[in-house]
Amino acid sequence: MSVTMRVIQRYRITAEREFLELEERFAALERRRPELPQGRRMKPLAAAEPNNTLVWQGEFPSLEAARKALTTFEGDPEHEALFKLQGPLFESVHVEFYDNL
């Protein structure tokens, strides 16, 4: 059974352009570096989360692999440099894990 991990990132709406530009740089980093966890980015149109939310979603073979992916992001110098720029724009961040049935 696989697991889907979602990183729910709510950002300041007044910083939307800057936040999304940085997010494109994160996406380019993932495309350039296949050893990093690969994910899909989504922005709500009609959902429980407000419009100033970005959802990063990836699928992993297990919960352990999904949790390990988080540490992969945290330990990567390029990712950390981008996060340092994007971090002040966050209102909140949380992670969700789902069993894929």
Going from the N-terminus, what domains does the chain have, and what CATH number goes with each? 3-94 (3.30.70.100)
CB 89, CB 18: distance < 8 Å: yes
pLDDT score for 52: 98
Quick one: pLDDT at residue 91?
A: 98
Per-residue confidence (pLDDT) for residue 88, from 0 to 100: 97
Residue type, 11: Y
Please give the Cα distance from 58 to 83 (Å, whole number): 18
Give me the pLDDT at residue 23, please: 97
Q: What is the pLDDT along the chain (101 residues), one digit of tens a residue?
A: 899 999 999 999 999 999 999 999 999 999 999 999 999 999 999 999 999 999 999 999 999 999 999 999 888 899 999 999 999 999 999 999 999 99
d(CA 82, CA 47): 27
Q: Give Dmax over CA atoms of the chain in angstroms.
A: 40
Contact assessment for residue 99 and residue 5, using Cβ atoms and an 8 Å cutoff: no
Answer yes or no: are the C-beta atoms of 27 and 80 closer than 8 Å. Answer: no
